Amino acid sequence: MNILTLFNNVRHMGMARQFIAVSVLLLPVVALVWFLFISAMVLKPVSGPVRHVDAVVSLAPGQHRLPTALEYHESGMSENLVVSWFPQLISGAVVKPELGWLESQICRAPDVGSVFCFTPELDSTYGEALSVSNLVLAQDWDSVVVVTSRYHVFRTRFIFERTLPAHIHVNVVAAPTELSAKGWITHIGYENLATIKAIFQTW
């Protein structure tokens, strides 16, 4: 190894150390910016204007989401109502008993052409998006409004826009969401981590 080669190797090692040092310094800044952005989207999500669509989708659990979706459906905003539900989990531990009854009444009723109930294979928002994507293609729909909780709007839009076919117009709206300060803190932390997971799921 000649002197010039040795010099270049040392210089490259120095540049690598500088890059690592800068990366270590920037990582907390990037993490802070990420946390503040996601937290803002959790607390104050952005929704598009509510207009007539092919289907209104209620994500599980239906504690607050299903009544809002049902209201949209019955107002004539959409002829079709899509409900994500888990029959084995309808109890006070998941939804309020009276709203569990509402889910059961809708999804256990005789087949109605305008109501579609499904249980996703994956128990997650991504699993729900996959199921809705299949239904949208089967029914030849072009637009959906997805109803979820306020803290869940940003991640839901992120997942649905990347999972449904590109030509489908997706709007995500928030059902009335009442949480304690502790509840909001919990969901802010969860949504920050879950959004990272969603990026890899929909990559």
Q: What pLDDT, in 10s, does the model give residues 117-175?
A: 999 999 899 999 999 999 999 999 999 999 999 999 999 999 999 999 999 999 999 99
- Give the lowest-confidence range in 17-21, 64-68, 78-82: 17-21
| Euclidean distance between the first and the last CA atom of the chain, given in angstroms as a whole number | 44
SS3 62: coil
Is 23:149 a contact under the CB 8 Å cutoff? no
Show the domains of the chain with their CATH numbers: 55-201 (3.40.50)
Nearest to 84 by CA among 138, 156, 10: 156
Q: Is the entire prediction scored with pTM above 0.75?
A: yes
Is pLDDT larger for residue 32 or for residue 108? 32
- Residue 136 has a pLDDT of 97
